Homo-oligomer: A and B are copies of this chain.
Amino acid sequence: MHRHLQLTEQGKLKHFLTIDGLSRELLTEILDTAESFADMSGKQVKKVPLLRGKTIINLFFENSTRTRTTFELAATRLSADVLTMNIATSSTSKGESLLDTIRNLEAMHVDMFVVRHALSGAAHFIAQHVAPHISVINAGDGQHSHPTQAMLDMFTIRQHKKQFAGLKIAIVGDILHSRVARSQILALNTLGVAEVRVIAPKTLLPTQVRSMGVIDLQDMAEGLQDVDVIIMLRLQKERMNSAFLPSESEYFRCFGLTEAKLKYAKPDVVVMHPGPINRGVEIASSVADGPHSVILQQVSNGIAVRMAVMSMTFPAHGTTTA
């Protein structure tokens, strides 16, 4: 179903909603396109006229400074006109339905929606109902999917490891609630890594986690053994006061990434985190700022990957690309 929704009849990207159903070829095309934009970022003039005269609306029903900022910068560097709407303060508070809001923005000749929403499936819903010439990019929907985050992580892994075949990857933390982990697991398996492990306390693992094609472990010593990449997840502090977790210090002792635990992994392991990091909760400062960390490169790559996805969804309705 997703396949049909987010691809054109020619198999090109029309929307970018989820990693689910996308082929290894398409994911690789995204990474290759992002590479050309990554080269550009260090240049004196960081702009290309690819989307000049296009209107992109950032529809943020859920606040996120980092994601919003990178999407804004990506759109601006493609020369698009971008308008950010914080929907909590908009007409929906006058009782207008989501669909009416979308219909109205469509009527303003908008070309693309970047959607962030606390409800799983929100971006899909909009993509299902939007006019045929409009692209929808999912910037995070509930606990379901965060595909641009997953792709910037894949980009960063390829940057350091050159290829996916043979890699062992560990994802550590709150797998249960993480849209990031869900998208990462799908992308890593599609791109053909050797092994994806998830490491978390039992209360933070989905019950059917093995059906996702991962190995689940509850011990860092075992889980990090010989891995090439460690992806730490952000611990939502609001889970802390719930039944899911003991104290912060207890969590850090068992699952926090320290220099000592890093020794279980391969000597050239890279450490990743979607940010913002909780120092001393899921990761020690010495690791976050240490030689294995590629956390800030992930942020840089985020702009290149978002530029790639934004420009790739456009040819579907008749614009030329780079």
Contact = CB atoms under 8 A, between A and B. Distances in A.
Interface string A52-70: 1111000000010110011
How many copies the complex holds: the figure is 3
A204 B81 CA distance: 42
Interface residues of A, number: 52
Contacts of A279: 97
A137 B45 CA distance: 21
A236 to B, nearest CB: 10
Given A52-B47, A299-B104, A69 B94 contact: no
B73 A83 contact: yes
A174 interface: no
Given A90-B65, A104-B275, A55 B73 contact: yes
A108 interface: yes
A107 B41 CA distance: 10
A83 to B, nearest CB: 6
A278 interface: yes
A45 B53 contact: yes
Contact of A91 (B65, B94, B96, B300): B65
Contact of A42 (B108, B109, B300): B109
A97 to B, nearest CB: 8
Interface of A: 41-47, 52-55, 63, 65-66, 69-70, 72-73, 76-77, 81, 83, 85, 89-91, 94-97, 100, 103-109, 237, 275-279, 296-297, 299-300, 302-303, 318-319
